[in-house]
Structure 1
Amino acid sequence: MARISYSGIGDTLFQQLLGHNAQIQKNWNKLEQAFYQEGELDGDLKEQVRRTLAFGNGCKYCQAKGKAVLDQKDSKTSLAIGFAELFLHHRSFINQATFDVLSQEFSETEIAELCSFICFTTASQMFGAIMDLQPE
């Protein structure tokens, strides 16, 4: 059981926790849909980044789908996973050289999407962790 009751507003337990404020839940969902249904980055890349972040951010609900696959054949996905790990454990060391490496594989549009996806996903997972949201 989460730290507060579920609101009954929303399709998932996560949404039902946010559903105590319907406008926040509605807009949060819109942004999440934008990340997963739009953008330049591949869906599998984003899923591997999400899985990486889940374990670093401590959200048990988000960990339920398992860890990221580290043995990637796609160099962009490998780099994105590595960047997510750097963000989790050494974000103060992210500098221009890091972005120079990213720019060898990603366009500026993709870099902006990757960074915003990492930040949004971290916010979601931190909310799940602080609420002690457990897998269904």
Structure 2
Amino acid sequence: MELISFSQNGSTPFQLLLGHNRNILEKWASLEECLFSSNTFSSELKEEVRRTLAFHNGCEYCKAKGIPSEIIMDQRIQTAIHAADISCEKIHMSNDEFSLLKEVFTDSEISELLALICFITACQRFGALLNLGPVCQI
């Protein structure tokens, strides 16, 4: 059960919790739209990163949306997932770990990927902190 009441603002359980401050909700949703509508990465890559992070960040709401795929052949997705895993384990990547990113992604793509990872992590940590469950009574 969620630790605070749902607000009247937003269209998802996550947004209804964040919606107690309409200005934050609007800007958060704007950044979400920017990251998820970008054509830099495939929707499959973004979803695999989201799923991977959900299990690290402990958000039951996000975990309920699906587990990470067991077999991934695409090198870009594999590398993005590896970066997501590392981001949950430590604050800094080693030079070797960062070199792997640079073999697959441009500097611009690395910047966007890490922004995506940090944004998803913030969303999931918010959900976990407020005990957002997989089935909500709105």
Relative distance call for 1:51 and 1:121 in structure 2 (3 A) is same
Please state how far the C-alpha of 1:96 moved relative to its aligned partner.
Answer: 2.6
Q: Is the 8 A contact 1:70 1:78 kept in 2?
A: no
Taking the TM superposition and a 5 Å limit, the aligned residue runs for 1:1-136 are 1-89=1-89, 91-92=90-91, 94-136=93-135
Count of residues in correspondence between the two structures: 135
- Name the CA distance, whole Å, in 1 between partners of 2:67 and 2:94: 27
Please state how far the C-alpha of 1:120 moved relative to its aligned partner.
Answer: 0.7
Letter in 2 for 1:78: Q
What TM-score does the superposition give when structure 2 sets the normalisation length? 0.93
- Name the CA distance, whole Å, in 2 between partners of 1:37 and 1:21: 24
SS of the residue corresponding to residue 53 of structure 1 reads helix
SS of the residue corresponding to residue 69 of structure 2 reads coil
Q: CA deviation digits over 1:34-58, x for unaligned, max 9?
A: 1110141111101100000000000
Letter in 2 for 1:32: E
- Name the CA distance, whole Å, in 2 between partners of 1:94 and 1:70: 24
Relative distance call for 1:93 and 1:70 in structure 2 (3 A) is farther
Please state how far the C-alpha of 1:74 moved relative to its aligned partner.
Answer: 0.5
Please state how far the C-alpha of 1:132 moved relative to its aligned partner.
Answer: 0.1
**Structure 2: 5+ residue runs without aligned partners?**
none
Letter in 1 for 2:49: V
Q: CA deviation digits over 1:97-132, x for unaligned, max 9?
A: 222111111111111111011111101000000000
**Structure 1: 5+ residue runs without aligned partners?**
none
Q: Is the 8 A contact 1:6 1:17 kept in 2?
A: yes
What TM-score does the superposition give when structure 1 sets the normalisation length? 0.94
Moved runs in structure 1, 4+ residues, more than 3 A?
A: none
Please state how far the C-alpha of 1:84 moved relative to its aligned partner.
Answer: 0.9
Percent identical residues: 42
- Name the CA distance, whole Å, in 1 between partners of 2:3 and 2:59: 14
Letter in 1 for 2:69: V
